[in-house]
Amino acid sequence: MSAISRLKYGSPNRFEAFSWYFMRVSGAVLLLVAVLHLLIMHVWYGVDAIDYRFVVGRWASPLVQVYDLALLLFAITHGVNGTRWVIDDYIHSRGWNLTLKAALYVLTVIFILMGATVIFTFDPDTSTTALNTVAAVFAR
């Protein structure tokens, strides 16, 4: 096989092929994980049982933390990969394309770090509810 045909039909950089397969696998995983999440939270326990104390008690289990992290990671990376494809399909200016992708990747890292931080460092003894935080800001 000549060097030209290798470059034409196969590249050592197989990111796009990996990206295509990742969308199929992550979509299937998300379908299972998200449906299981909905069944557990909305059918098994019921919407009426979900409150602050319920979430605090749920995150006391490391298994639930890993499950929620998997849901977070698969959902964000699946969505970012799809958004990256949309940017490539519709933004043809190289400058805008790179700018939008850079912003997308920065936001992705920020959201993953925020979500993982909340999941793994959540301490119900020192945490306040969002309503208490907003009330404290306006009370000043």
Per-residue pLDDT reduced to its tens digit, 34-64: 999 999 888 998 888 888 788 878 888 889 9
C-alpha dist (Å) from residue 111 to 81, 93, 116, 125: 15, 27, 8, 24
Query: What's the chain's average pLDDT?
Result: 84
CATH number of 14-127: 1.20.1300.10
Work out the percent of the chain whose per-residue pLDDT is above 90.
54
CA–CA dist 129, 80 (Å, integer): 30
CA–CA dist 102, 106 (Å, integer): 6
Look at residues 105, 51, 52 and name the one whose alpha carbon lies nearest to residue 77: 105
Residue 19 confidence (pLDDT) above 80: yes
Residue 6: what pLDDT?
47
pLDDT bin (cut points 50, 70, 90) of residue 111 is: very high
DSSP 47: G
Sign of CA dihedral 62, 67, 73, 76: negative
Residue 138: what pLDDT?
74
Select, from the ranges 16-30, 55-69, 126-140, the one with the highest average predicted confidence (pLDDT). Answer: 16-30
pTM for this model (two decimals): 0.74
Domain-wise residue ranges, the chain = 14-127
- The answer to which of 10-19, 95-104, 125-134 has the lowest mean pLDDT is 125-134
